[in-house]
Amino acid sequence: MANLVLYRKYRPQTFSEVVGQEHIVQTLKNAVRGNLIAHAYLFSGPRGSGKTSLARILAKAVNCKNPKAGEPDNACEYCQEINQGRALDLLEIDAASNRGIDEVRDLKEGIRFAPARLKYKVFVVDEAHQLTKEAANALLKTLEEPPAHAIFVLATTEVHRMTDTIVSRCQRFDFRKLRVAEIVSRLEEIAKKEGAAIDKMALQIIAGRASGSLRDAESLLDRILTFHAKDRVASETVQELLGIVDVSILSEFADLLFAKKAAQAVEFLNKKLQEGMDPQEFSKNLVEYLRSILILKLNPELQEALAPSFTTEQQEKMGKLARAAEGKFLTNVLRHFMEAERDMRYADIVQLPLELAIVESTQ
């Protein structure tokens, strides 16, 4: 049997294991403990923030034989069935694949019947915003007159595309992107359980790369540990595997830009490209680096929060560049390289938009 990938192996099994959504977790625990279960929930938020995981935990909690303070015990037969994917009364529908009216009609037919074993039938509709108009209307009629034994959990990354009538009939919870520190803490736990040695700076790079998605961070960690199962993983290794441009390269390039040395900056860029640096990755990382400097220019107190994956020395260097540069110059440079990042997708000479951005930024 193939090994489970990390994000599935370490999927939260209780409310207390969910990372970073404390406001939602506490409300749901209180609802389970006080038997104040709504018939429909709407979980909206960015991908990888825990929406479907929390939906499954809620399904366990409302059906658990021996809940404790609103938490499922994960020991009773009903919890075990859900954990093992054998529960007939937990139905998960991916609206991205099953968008049509027929699937929702089948769902409506299934709702009419009492649960086979559990107390509640729980219907989880993932990417609910992708339902067709006809399917959404059919779902709306079901939400208007739901049977007492049915609970709906609609999950979406684009709540603005949901019809207002459906949203108004759900108890809505907005999930947030996870902070780098929260992701790093979870990755440290996983690495320890896996018996893997990995530097904290490496974990910070992974967390920063995941853009607030714990699932993406766990997938990246899985990929890295697959390549380096026995060796201690350093930050340099992570940068190499993920194709991340070294901060020292970005810093040196920024020095040339801010000194308005166009010729030297173009030469430096082409030298690094000849050495194998990915131009797309360089462009992406440079925009993030310049954005950090701009934010530090506006508010120096954000240094710690904004740059958790940088060393103290690197943060000081960014702060120094922020203090020395004019605000208008910074915004112009950032705008030119954002445009270059976009234009590179269609350029015959891939580095040409970057070279033009250098010239325009230093004029």
Per-residue pLDDT at 304: 59
Per-residue pLDDT at 154: 93
Per-residue pLDDT at 1: 37
Domain definitions of the chain by residue range: 6-174, 180-242, 247-362
The DSSP symbol for 178 reads P
On whether the CB atoms of residues 285 and 246 are closer than 8 A, the answer is no
The residue assigned the tokens 């990042």 is 341
Nearest to 196 by CA among 238, 242, 230, 234: 230
What tokens does 40 get?
């429909």
Per-residue pLDDT at 197: 87
Pick the CATH number of 247-362 from 1.20.272.10, 3.90.1150.10, 3.30.565.10, 3.40.50.2300: 1.20.272.10
Nearest to 148 by CA among 103, 110, 111: 111
Q: Is the pTM of this model over 0.85?
A: no
Nearest to 211 by CA among 179, 189, 240, 182: 179
Per-residue pLDDT at 230: 62
Spatial separation of the C-alpha atoms in residues 327 and 296, rounded to whole Å: 11
| Mean pLDDT in consecutive groups of 10 residues from the start of the chain, 363 residues | 74 91 92 91 92 93 91 92 89 74 68 84 89 82 85 92 91 90 90 88 84 88 79 79 80 91 93 88 89 84 61 78 86 92 89 93 86
Spatial separation of the C-alpha atoms in residues 197 and 297, rounded to whole Å: 37
Name all contacts of 282-288 with Cβ < 8 Å and 24+ positions apart: 282/245, 282/249, 282/354, 283/337, 283/340, 283/341, 283/344, 283/354, 284/341, 285/244, 285/245, 285/250, 286/245, 286/250, 286/253, 286/254, 286/337, 287/334, 287/337, 287/338, 287/341
Per-residue pLDDT at 102: 66
| Topology of the domain comprising 6-174 | Rossmann fold (3.40.50)
Domain formed by 180-242, architecture = Orthogonal Bundle (1.10)
